[in-house]
Chains A and B, each alone.
Chain A
Amino acid sequence: MENKKHEELLKKSQEVQLGGGEKAIAKQKAMGKLTARERILRILDEGSFHEYDMFVEHDVRDFGMQEKKLAGDGVIIGTGTVYGSPIAIFAQDFTVAGGSLGSMHARKITKIMDYALRMRMPLIGINDSGGARIQEGVNSLAGYGEIFFRNTISSGVIPQLSVILGPCAGGAVYSPALTDFVFVVENISKMFITGPEVIKTVLGEEISMEELGGARVHSELTGNAHFYALSEEECFEQIKTLITFIPWHNGQKALAFEPKEPKSEYKIDTIVPEDATQPYDVRNVIRAVVDDSDFFEIQELWAANIVIGFARLNGETVGFVANQPLIMAGVLDCDSSDKAARFIRYCDAFNIPIITFEDLPGYLPGIDQEHAGVIRHGAKLLYAYSEATVPKITVILRKAYGGGYIAMNSRHLRADFVFAWPQAEIAVMGPEGAANIIFKKEIAESENPEEMRQQKVAEYREKFANPYVAASKGYIDSVITPQETRKFLLHAIQVSENKLEQMPLRKHGIPPF
């Protein structure tokens, strides 16, 4: 008797585990994709996955749907662990009715989202769906809305990761957009609000899915994605690595690792050229100071003139924001401001100290920048730094001019520690611009204006383009050598361990979105 019941369970679960059947699985494989179940099992620690709602079925009685049995209603939900950290996970199963979202499908997703929020653990959502299940009409839309609502209220409470491993189109893209990190894979991920067919019908313009909303487009052009991989395997590694850097929820810190020294191949005193017009890769400066020289970059292809990512100091997670002189001289513009501001808010929400490496010539001039609203975008950076109450540490490596100086976590936005290297130039503007304005008359009236200009530029540089003017006002706490940087950072993190800063009581601020 008992055996018979057990056999029935086994048979039923085997049926569900086959998803949309062998034919549909073969089709999924032909597209170069893993199945939903394979994806979950590869992300989670071996043997840790526990599935729920396996026998959920849809209840649609229209359009012949009553005849159709959809395994798990096209989505798999459950919990497991990644390197021992608890994880809630759902994966849409494209082999079952194209992973289309109906009301029970959505109810499974919202169930696991509710678990994640209540149990305060990270949520990973794997999106691979043709979109709304049209036969379910407005119930399908209701399902999306319930998901978006939960994404929003969970934001800043638990980490939410979205993995796009197939199409994710129409309203469905708003769930990933509301989460913290979006992972995409070349040739597999497709995200857009209106697809190529609609664009062709309405506009007569032809574009492929890949060109419209492929992995590369979202990683390089739109900034919608944070991690770009060439294969699903690489993507899963990125997910697992990210999990090691972030806490399970906003009430704790990320797990600390064994402290390690940076690798000796990164020699901090040889990376930054003294001549402020010469480029270098600021990521090497980060690698030269962090544990094991391990810097985990986020959004490396988009707005690359600013660098963001996680690393560890003395075993503890820190977030880095750094101007990148290698790309567009490291200027601030609309995209780089957006990119850094959002990351700062992430770090602040999840108790991750923020370290800023500053070397920028200012904002990108241009009619297109002004008309794209660089005022509104640039303001996000000031807002994010000002409202962040986690430890905030700035190191001025070289240039810090004008509005850029203020924006990059200056003392005036209540940075906890501001350090500057001896070659730092902290001034209201670059020596050339400043000399041209202050000594306009002398230069114009000189017999050799160019020679006079050069002389005045040199004079200004000597007198003002250094860290000591700012240091004399206490805007900078210490002028340090590059070699001392790690020591100062470790100490700053150590002494700000119990930082407590309370902001005026309010419901929430009104950031310049």
Chain B
Amino acid sequence: MQKNQIENKNYIDLSLENGTYKTTLPKRFKPKVWKRPNPNTVKTFIPGTILTILVKKGQKVNDGEQLAIFAAMKMHNIILAPHKGKVVDIFVTEGERLTKGAPMFNIQ
């Protein structure tokens, strides 16, 4: 395995504020694409498991109403509605294991 990857002569153009430069990019260089968050989607903030879902599809909820109990890191977290609206979609089932950032509810 080559330790030093800087023997590459295939330069690329990198455009920056002050002009365009010939250079190379590290293999792992991938700028993340930023997506505007959707305020209607309630996402997990930590990996964990859905214990209980407290609302039904189509149900009207108030700002701060409890939506689910979500177990993460030995704690029972209560998931609250971010704003007043209708539960348009429930993406999870009880007992489901979720990664960080997984969508759980759509409240519109």
Residues of chain A having any CB pair with chain B under 8 Å: 186, 202-205, 220-221, 228, 230, 276-279, 281, 300-301, 304-305, 325-331, 361-369, 371, 399, 401-402, 429-433
Contacts and interface: CB of A to CB of B under 8 A. Distances in A.
Contacts of B4: 300-301
Contacts of A364: 16
Contacts of B75: none
A433 B16 CA distance: 10
Given A202-B47, A281-B6, A362 B20 contact: no
A163 B34 CA distance: 38
B99 A205 contact: yes
B18 A433 contact: yes
7 contacts: A205-B99, A276-B21, A325-B21, A328-B25, A328-B29, A368-B34, A433-B17
Contacts of A366: 31
Interface of B: 1, 3-6, 11, 14, 16-26, 28-29, 31-32, 34, 47-48, 97, 99
A279 B18 contact: no
Nearest to B27: A220
Nearest to A367: B34
Nearest to A425: B18
Given A278-B22, A279-B22, A361-B21, A329 B16 contact: yes
A362 B16 contact: yes
A300 B6 CA distance: 10
A99 B77 CA distance: 38
Given A204-B97, A277-B22, A368-B34, A430 B17 contact: yes
Nearest to A372: B32
Given A276-B19, A325-B23, A429-B18, 15 more contacts: A202-B48, A203-B47, A203-B97, A204-B99, A220-B26, A277-B19, A279-B11, A304-B26, A328-B24, A362-B18, A365-B16, A368-B31, A399-B18, A430-B19, A433-B17
A362 B21 contact: no
A362 B17 CA distance: 8
- Leading 9 A-B pairs by shortest Cβ distance: A430-B18, A329-B21, A367-B34, A329-B23, A368-B32, A361-B18, A203-B47, A432-B19, A279-B23
- Most chain A CB within 10 A, of B6, B16, B18, B25, is at B18
A327 B25 contact: yes
Nearest to A277: B21
Given A203-B47, A366-B31, A327 B16 contact: no
Contacts of B25: 327-328
Contacts of A328: 14, 23-26, 29
Contacts of A326: 6, 23-24
Given A186-B1, A277-B21, A304 B6 contact: yes
Contacts of A362: 16-18
Contacts of A277: 19-22
B23 A327 contact: yes
Contacts of A325: 21, 23
A327 B8 CA distance: 10
A388 B4 CA distance: 31
Contact of A327 (B19, B24, B47, B48): B24
